[in-house]
Amino acid sequence: MGIINISIIGASGRMGMAIVEESKKIPNFKIKYLVEAKGHESVGSTLDNVIVTDRVEKSIKESDVIIDFSSPKSTLNLMKSINRKDTPALVIGTTGFTKKQEEEFGIVKRGLKVLRASNMSIGVNLMFNLTKQLTKILPDDANVEILDTHHKLKKDTPSGTSLTLGEEVKSGKKNGKNFKFEFRGQSQNKDRKEKEIGFSSIRGGDVIGDHSVFFFLDGERIEIIHRASNRNIYAKGALVAAKWIKNQKQGLYSMKDLVKI
């Protein structure tokens, strides 16, 4: 395989720096550009012998794949800026999109080559597939609750990974469209409804990310658990995704396409 030229949007963030570090271990990758927003304090500094820039247009012209862990607004602007629809390919790990931004994403993705995942971990994406398969097997009236635990600085609740797990449950249910998401909170004072999928979140310390899916049946329960102990699993997954998406046709993909079971 030849050299894959990549650029990283959100390069000075935790994920951006982890991807830079992991890319050193894979000889096929060459970092062309590290990109941050205009006015960001890191612009002009050097990270691993690459100058951090705010010139996103250069990364679009000279990259085979752009890996984006920035913000919803930044991600949407990036997608709008790509005129050549076959290249560069995009690996998007940005989360926290509003409903309106999701609708905009659905429009601007047309004709692009995009792999989008709320979680780049290979293990978590196996969990997505297992959750759907187990939902299909279990009775439709099994009660499902989803719990995520993250570090104290994580702002969005529930996590994007939890919401994706919820969508996997919906897709596995025979009448999934009739199930509603219910976000648990202290003010809740009502019985559990029959057709709901519950979400709870815990924030504290330096927890990287734990996710659990509970299937409750009368007299028993099944749990699927994934715990992340090293943030670099997401960086590794993003690079695996970049290698994979480069050779795909135009369209929208997810990490689940890499780990089909």
Question: Which residue from 237, 232, 258 is spatially nearest to 247, judged by alpha carbons?
Answer: 258
Give me the pLDDT at residue 260, please: 73
- Number of C-beta neighbours around residue 130 at 10 A: 15
In order of their start, the domains of the chain are 4-116+231-257 (3.40.50.720), 122-228 (3.30.360.10)
Look at 6-10, 34-38, 103-107 and tell me which has the smallest mean pLDDT: 34-38
Inform me whether the pLDDT recorded for 188 exceeds 70. Answer: no
Put residue 219 in one of left, alpha, beta given phi > 0 → left and psi -120 to 50 → alpha.
Answer: left
Give me the pLDDT at residue 197, please: 95
Mean pLDDT for the chain overall = 91
State the average pLDDT over residues 57-70.
93
Residues 223, 241 contacting (CB under 8 angstroms): no
Contacts of 219 (CB under 8 A, 6+ apart): none
Instruction: Return the structure tokens found at 219.
Output: 């007299």
3-state helix, strand, coil in the chain (%, to 5): 35, 30, 40
- Active-site amino acid positions: 150, 154
pLDDT-based confidence at residue 179 (cuts at 50, 70, 90):
very high
What are 162-176's pLDDT values in tens digits?
Answer: 999 999 999 999 888
Inform me whether the pLDDT recorded for 16 exceeds 80. Answer: yes
Give me the pLDDT at residue 85, please: 66
Residues 96, 88 contacting (CB under 8 angstroms): no
State the average pLDDT over residues 184-213.
88
- Alpha carbon distances (Å) from 217 to 44, 141, 190, 222: 57, 8, 20, 8
Give me the pLDDT at residue 136, please: 96
Inform me whether the pLDDT recorded for 72 exceeds 80. Answer: yes
pLDDT-based confidence at residue 86 (cuts at 50, 70, 90):
low
Q: Is 105 helix (H, G, I), strand (E, B) or coil?
A: helix
Percentage of the chain exceeding pLDDT 70: 97
> pTM of the prediction?
0.77
What are 129-152's pLDDT values in tens digits?
Answer: 999 999 999 998 899 999 999 999
Inform me whether the pLDDT recorded for 82 exceeds 70. Answer: yes
pLDDT-based confidence at residue 235 (cuts at 50, 70, 90):
very high
Give me the pLDDT at residue 105, please: 96
More confident residue, 54 or 90: 90
Q: Where are the beta strands (DSSP E) in the chain?
A: 4-9, 29-35, 46-47, 50-53, 65-68, 89-92, 113-116, 143-150, 180-183, 196-203, 209-217, 220-228, 251-253
Give me the pLDDT at residue 194, please: 85
Instruction: Return the structure tokens found at 91.
Output: 């690996």
Inform me whether the pLDDT recorded for 84 exceeds 90. Answer: no
